[in-house]
Every structure is written in structure tokens, then in C-alpha cells.
Amino acid sequence: MDSDDRKLVTKRIYDDPSDDDGFRVLVDRLWPRGISKERARLDLWLKEVAPSTALRTEFGHMQERFADFREQYEAELENNPAVATLQELAVKHGRITLLYGARDPETNHARVLLDFLQR
């Protein structure tokens, strides 16, 4: 499979699952509030790829802290074995949807993770 055939996307877990999601991976450390396992339709919950608890708490989804958060989270990802797991899943399944619970579709860890994986 060419790397062009692989597709990584992000999506809020609160959005309805769709057939073109491919392999659905929750990348949050905490289970999203109000979502049942049935509604989530997960293939994998890879909480190990999420930011550390300390980093997540420090960031607090505050826009003004996002640049620092991005830098620190990317540093965590450099040595995180769960990144290799996601890369292997992308090769195996073709399309991977990284699911997250944050409200902001741009200022969240899943977006940083997506950018990191696409480099």
C-alpha cells in the first residue's frame, strides 16, 4: 500500500460514527463523558498516546498555552512507543480516525498528534 493510500483524520467522539471512518482509535487518556461504548464504536482505545496527565492539566485547553503545549507534547511523542502502534495500524488498515473529546477542533492534542504522524 502506498503512503498516499493511507489516511489519518481527526474527529470528535461526540460526532456520529460513519462508514468512512475506517479504524476508529480513541486517543484520550480519559473516557469521554456521556459516551457509551456502543455509541463510540471504537476499534481501539490507545490512551498511552495521549499527553501525560501533568501536561494535559497544565494546558487546560487554554488557547494562550497551546504553543507551549504543542512543543511539550511533541517532545513526549518522540519517545512514545504508542506512536509506532498508530503507524503500524495506518499501514494495516489504511484509514485511521483519531477520536478525541475536546470541544475545539483545532486546539487539541489530537490535532498535534495528527500533525506529528503526518511528518
Query: Strands 44-45 and 23-26, how do they pair?
Result: parallel
Tell me what pLDDT residue 61 has: 86
What is the reported pLDDT for 38? 95
pLDDT tens-digit profile, the chain (119 residues) = 344 445 999 999 999 999 999 999 999 999 999 999 999 999 999 999 999 999 999 999 889 999 999 999 999 999 999 999 999 999 999 999 999 999 999 999 999 999 999 98
Q: What is the pLDDT of residue 45?
A: 98
Q: What confidence score (pLDDT) does residue 2 get? A: 42
**pTM for the full model?**
0.92
- Count other Cβ atoms within 10 Å, centred on residue 69: 21
Query: Is-contact 106 63, C-beta < 8 A?
Result: no
